[in-house]
Amino acid sequence: MRSITLLIVVIACGISVQKESNKGEPSIAIVGAGMSGLSAARRLIETGRSHIDIYEGMNRIGGRIHPVAYHGGYLQMGAQYINGAENPIYKIAKSLGVIDEVVSDAAHLDNAEYLIGDQPVDR
């Protein structure tokens, strides 16, 4: 019974908060502070929105992109490859000057070794 009462209170508070926020610019909630959530927030700010809340379940931002300690430094996990120049993430990364190298989609296959089991296969 206690959980049902709590749920009703939360719903009632949510409704009253929503009514208050409708008086001016609507509030926008973004779920997740990964690249998509942060990109959405950036785009909303560019279009003049200011009432934006980002909710993240982890204790850090970045989603799949995160540093991992390695031999006195860090490896950046999840952000080592952006596929396609038409990808919105590519456009943001390029505008921020964080792209080191551009390679064709097939370039990573040029020096690839093909195996069946542990036996090399001719191309």
Buried b (16+ CB within 10 A) or exposed e, 26-48: eeeebebbbbebbebbeeeeeee
Q: What is the pLDDT of residue 79?
A: 67
Predicted confidence (pLDDT) per residue in 41-73, tens digit: 989 999 999 899 999 998 988 888 888 888 988
Helix, strand, or coil (residue 77): strand
Q: What is the pLDDT of residue 51?
A: 92
Q: What is the pLDDT of residue 12?
A: 39
Q: Which long-range contacts (CB under 8 A, 24 or more apart) does 88-97 make?
A: 88/39, 89/35, 89/39, 92/39, 92/42
Predicted confidence (pLDDT) per residue in 78-120, tens digit: 766 777 777 777 888 888 888 877 777 677 677 788 888 888 8
pLDDT band at 10 (very low <50, low <70, confident <90, very high): very low
What's the pTM value of the predicted model, to 2 decimals? 0.49
Predicted confidence (pLDDT) at residue 30 exceeds the cutoff of 90? yes
Element counts in the chain: helices (H) and strands (E): 3, 6
DSSP string, 17-39: HHHHHTTSSPPEEEE--BHHHHH
Helix, strand, or coil (residue 91): helix
For 27, list phi and psi in degrees, rounded to 5: -80, 145
- What distance in Å separates the CA atoms of residue 34 and residue 55, rounded to the nearest whole number? 10
Give strand pairing partners of 66: 77
Q: Regarding predicted confidence, which is higher, 94 or 4?
A: 94
